[in-house]
Chain A
Amino acid sequence: MNTFWFVMVAIGMLTFLTRLSFILLQDKWQPPSIVTRGLRFVPVAVLTAIFVPEILLIENQLAFSFTNMRLLAGLIAILVAYKTKSALWTIAVGMGVFWLLTWLF
């Protein structure tokens, strides 16, 4: 397990350098304007790409059905997020619905 310390530090450094990369480059290199205009879509695109498989897939298979509690609770959470724009309400209602559904069925 001693090699694991090495693996951990290597990944830590790589992750840090990835996060630092463009922040450090900024003063020396400006991205072309098309890149700058595309950047506003980064949060929306990446965050959606992360959560959609979480609610739509069960064991890597598409699960469009009423037995997929994550999908139902997720859709309600999306509605709450859209209406309230509140992270607290979104997470609380989403989890509440999820627990209620699992308890009921």
Chain B
Amino acid sequence: MGVRAELPILLGVTPFGMIYGVLALSAGLTPLQSQAMSSVIFAGSSQFMLVQLVSLGTPALIMIATAFVINLRHALYSLSVAPYLQGLSPLWKVFLSYLLTDEAYAVGIMRFQHQEHSQYKHWYLLGAGVALWACWQLSTAAGIFLGAQVPPGWGLDFTLALTFIALAVPAINDTPALLAAIVAGLTSILTRGLPYKLNLIAAAIAGITVGLWRDRK
């Protein structure tokens, strides 16, 4: 069922994976490195950033630090799903953590919040995570294989924005959540000058704070 919920999201993720494959090659990575990155790192936004940094000849430590900060939001996801995964074996926890991407998290957490007591909810997250993983590997491979044949003029990268719209908007189910979204969106724009995509962290903190504040009233 987690797989089924993830399917529409794959429509938005596939072009993104292909574009990543194309960009990785043009940045000078080998096909093997480009493909390996999709399974070793498995985090779209930091992979895109890394490819840019590689083509600029950035020092290794800066690349590592940048990717680390970009992926910090996953600590919030970890904190957020943790209560629902309590009591699972370490192996489950390790495996689900590896699969905890933006898209799998978003699909999984909506389910958890609605069906808190289901005994099989970790299977749901697993299904969503594995579906996304397979799609990310295949679309990366397709991008590497097709290379420059994917025309940039199609605006395929816009599908990622649409994917996040499709995930965020249905999750807004009351006024505090709506305020959290608006404030997070505004903060993200206003703080876009921050390095390492730290605007995402600033926006998350601002949005959550306003949501909590409105919840109190």
Contact = CB atoms under 8 A, between A and B. Distances in A.
A21 B166 contact: no
A9 interface: yes
The binding surface of chain A is classed by DSSP as helix
B179 to A, nearest CB: 9
Interface residues of B, number: 94
Given A47-B171, A81-B165, A23 B176 contact: no
A102 B155 contact: yes
A47 B71 contact: no
Interface in B25-84: 28-30, 33, 36-37, 40-43, 45-46, 50, 54, 60, 63-64, 67-68, 71-83
B168 A43 contact: yes
Contacts of A99: 154-155
Given A8-B33, A23-B85, A98-B158, A42 B208 contact: yes
B79 A39 contact: yes
Contacts of A77: 162, 165-166
Contacts, number: 264
Interface string A29-57: 00100111111111111111111111111
A15 B170 contact: no
A51 B45 CA distance: 12
Interface stretch (B133-141, B143-151, B180-188): B180-188
B185 A49 contact: yes
Interface string A74-100: 100110011001111011101100110
Interface of A: 1, 3-12, 14-16, 18-27, 31, 34-57, 60, 62, 69-70, 73-74, 77-78, 81-82, 85-88, 90-92, 94-95, 98-99, 102
Given A14-B68, A44-B172, A91-B162, 10 more contacts: A1-B28, A11-B40, A37-B212, A45-B181, A45-B203, A60-B192, A62-B189, A81-B170, A91-B11, A99-B155
15 contacts: A11-B41, A14-B67, A18-B68, A22-B82, A23-B78, A24-B93, A27-B87, A51-B164, A51-B168, A52-B189, A53-B192, A77-B162, A78-B169, A86-B166, A102-B155
Interface of B: 7-9, 11-12, 28-30, 33, 36-37, 40-43, 45-46, 50, 54, 60, 63-64, 67-68, 71-83, 85-87, 90, 93-94, 96-98, 100, 102, 105-106, 109-110, 113, 154-155, 158-172, 176-177, 180-189, 192, 199-200, 203-204, 206-209, 211-212, 215
